[in-house]
Amino acid sequence: MAKIRVNVYIDGFNLYHSTLQHAHPDNRWLNLFELSKRLVSPKTEEIQTVYYFSALATWIPERAKKHLLYIHALRTVGVKDILGKFTIRERKCPLCAKCFQSHEEKKTDINIAITLLTDGIADKFDTALILSGDSDLAPVITKVKKICPGKKVGIIVPQNQSAMNLKQHADFFKKIQDKDLKKSLLPEQVTYNGKMITAPVGWLPKQCLFNQDDKKCQFVILPETFSGIKHLNFS
């Protein structure tokens, strides 16, 4: 019997700001394909495509550089990135009434909606999972279910969000657990287009390994999902 085809649509900024930035900063080097696999049933479901929707903060070069490294790392595991952009918006301080400029991310919800609708019409999935808490995506969920009968749309709720509006429109919802994040990390170093990419400092967890030779505690990056890693025993 053929497995249920699943596509995953990840709102990068929503995931980052709700779950990774403060609660799990050392899980930012997150393997989104592996995370997606942990959110489906391997016996009956199969991941087809994982999309990552985001944008680069180009006015902050160092931040944009790290983000681009992460995007390249995601490509090595088959994640497809679709990038929007930031626009400059004029704002007024409610206290002093002075005007100032801020950057506002645009197109992520539109890109998710277009990609989801296009894939549904082209019959590229049986079930779509949207990882986001953005209520602006509620209309597209309703539209997909209307024009693509038989297809299901589920919500993966980021931590620290309720996503109540999305839940009301979706067929089902799931929540991201701490263990899903910890077991879905990219290796510290990956190769992209023939070049080695190293995770930015602080983007992976550290574990304390006691060195019997010099009696010192050494911190090393050791994600649980590294292939070939065995527990080290100093006894």
Q: What is the DSSP letter of 30?
A: B
Do the domain assignments include residue 212?
no
CB atoms within 10 A of CB 36: 23
Distances (CA, A) of 51 to 74, 99, 210: 10, 37, 40
- Which amino acid does the sequence have at 185? L
Q: In this structure, are residues 206 and 223 in contact, taking their beta carbons and an 8 Å threshold?
A: no
Q: Which residues have C-beta within 8 Å of that of residue 34, sequence separation ≥ 6?
A: 77, 183, 184, 185, 225
User: Hey, what long-range contacts does 204-207 have (CB within 8 A, 24 or more apart)?
Assistant: 204/26, 204/27, 204/29, 205/26, 205/27, 206/26
Residue 226 lies in a domain: no
Residue 88 lies in a domain: yes
Distance of alpha carbon 135 from alpha carbon 109, whole angstroms: 10
Predicted local confidence at residue 212, as pLDDT: 47
Q: Classify 3 as helix, strand or coil.
A: coil
User: Does residue 225 belong to any structural domain of this protein?
Assistant: no
Beta bridge partners of 189: 198
The C-alpha atoms of residue 115 and residue 137 are separated, in whole angstroms, by 12
| pLDDT of the chain, 235 residues: tens digit per residue | 899 999 999 999 999 999 998 899 999 999 999 999 999 999 999 999 999 999 998 888 999 999 999 999 999 999 999 998 867 677 777 778 777 666 577 678 999 999 999 999 999 999 999 999 999 999 999 999 999 999 999 999 999 888 889 999 999 999 999 999 999 999 999 999 999 999 999 999 986 444 445 555 555 555 444 433 333 333 3
Residue 210 lies in a domain: no
Q: Which amino acid is at 82?
A: I
* Six-digit token string for 115: 């990609």
Total of domains in the chain: 1
Quote the domain boundaries for residue 155.
4-202
207 found inside a domain: no
Within a domain: 128: yes
Report the SS3 class of residue 115.
helix
Instruction: Give me the CATH number covering residue 122.
Output: 3.40.50.1010
User: Measuring CA to CA, how many Å separate 68 from each of 44, 55, 78, 120, 170?
Assistant: 34, 9, 15, 29, 32
In contact, 85 and 55? CB cutoff 8 Å:
yes
Helix (H) / strand (E) element for 104: namely strand 99-106
Is there a domain that residue 227 lies in? no
